[in-house]
């Protein structure tokens, strides 16, 4: 039987905010035991090896894959989830100087090229890459979170006066995932739509506006399980 590996960032890792430990300007993130990877594995009765890392960009994903290459065998599935950190900016620098040129962690063109490198590396060992799309962002909640204790007026000025720029920018990277999947004939699991369908979208997110809470992870898990796409793995 083939194995399933999950390689991504904090969303794939199952990171949520622990509200009981938020205070005095600090935020505590924890790994939930009910993240969607665990939920999918437990419900479907499959073993999923979660190699994801908090804060990982696509470049971090390449380095992480290198560390685990010997563990992955031909025929294994490697589910990839990147983009949320790649599209992020240095908000402190923006707050200090909104008139300067500020670049994302990874440009969209670099994201495209590095994602293809990651896919090709997975394929080179005979494994099967599967791409995961991104949950949308809550722009106002995200803005309030990243601008806390910073100059909100300056950040808003850099955003062109509209916090929706944040989610629009994020969506460019999400769309790139679908484009890459189509161009390279890779299965993509759409977990974006299931969030966009919700009226009370805020109920599924942590206070930072970017990490799904445990209700959001349940939503992702149900979306993946409804597709019936992941094969059974060694238990």
What are 24-56's pLDDT values in tens digits? 456 689 999 999 999 999 999 999 999 999 999
Cα–Cα distance measured from residue 86 to residue 111, given in angstroms and rounded to the nearest whole number: 7
Taking residues 149-161, what's their average pLDDT?
97
Residue 233: per-residue pLDDT: 42
DSSP for 107-137, written as a single string: -HHHHHHHHHHHHHHHHHTT-EEEEE--PPP
Residue 57: closest CA among 113, 19, 137, 124: 113
Please check the confidence at residue 210 and state whether its pLDDT lies above 50. yes
Residue 28: per-residue pLDDT: 83
Residue 228: per-residue pLDDT: 72
**Number of neighbours of residue 177 by Cβ within 10 angstroms:** 24
Taking residues 11-36, what's their average pLDDT?
80
Domain 4-227 top-level CATH class: alpha beta
Residue 25: per-residue pLDDT: 53
Residue 235: per-residue pLDDT: 32
Residue 93: per-residue pLDDT: 98
Cα–Cα distance measured from residue 201 to residue 204, given in angstroms and rounded to the nearest whole number: 6
Residue 26: per-residue pLDDT: 61
Spell out the domain ranges in the chain. 4-227
**DSSP E strand boundaries for 71-212:** 77-81, 128-132, 187-189
Q: Rounded mean pLDDT of the chain? A: 93
Residue 234: per-residue pLDDT: 40
Residue 18: per-residue pLDDT: 80
Note whether 74 and 90 are within 8 A (CB): no
**What is the pTM assigned to this prediction?**
0.92
Taking residues 201-228, what's their average pLDDT?
94
């Amino acid at each position: 039987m083939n194995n399933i590996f999950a390689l991504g960032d904090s969303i794939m890792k199952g990171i949520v905010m622990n509200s009981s430990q938020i205070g005095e300007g600090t935020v505590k993130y924890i790994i939930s035991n009910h993240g969607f990877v665990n939920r999918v594995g437990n419900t479907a009765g499959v073993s999923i090896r979660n190699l994801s890392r908090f804060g990982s960009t696509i470049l971090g994903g390449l380095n992480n894959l290198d560390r685990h290459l010997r563990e992955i065998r031909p025929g294994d599935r490697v589910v990839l989830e990147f983009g949320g950190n790649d599209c992020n900016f240095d908000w402190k620098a923006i707050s200090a100087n909104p008139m300067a040129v500020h670049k994302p962690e990874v440009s969209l063109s670099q994201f495209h090229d590095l994602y293809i490198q990651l896919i090709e590396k997975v394929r080179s060992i005979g494994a099967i890459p599967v791409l995961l799309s991104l949950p949308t962002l809550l722009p106002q909640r995200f803005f309030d979170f990243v601008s806390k204790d910073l100059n909100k007026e300056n950040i808003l000025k850099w955003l062109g006066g509209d916090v929706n720029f944040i989610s629009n920018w994020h969506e460019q990277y999400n769309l790139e995932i679908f484009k890459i999947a189509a161009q390279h004939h890779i299965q993509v699991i759409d977990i974006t739509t299931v969030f966009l369908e919700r009226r009370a979208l805020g109920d599924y997110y942590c206070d930072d506006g970017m990490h799904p809470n445990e209700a959001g992870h349940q939503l992702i898990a149900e979306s993946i399980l409804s597709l019936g796409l992941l094969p059974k793995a060694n238990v």
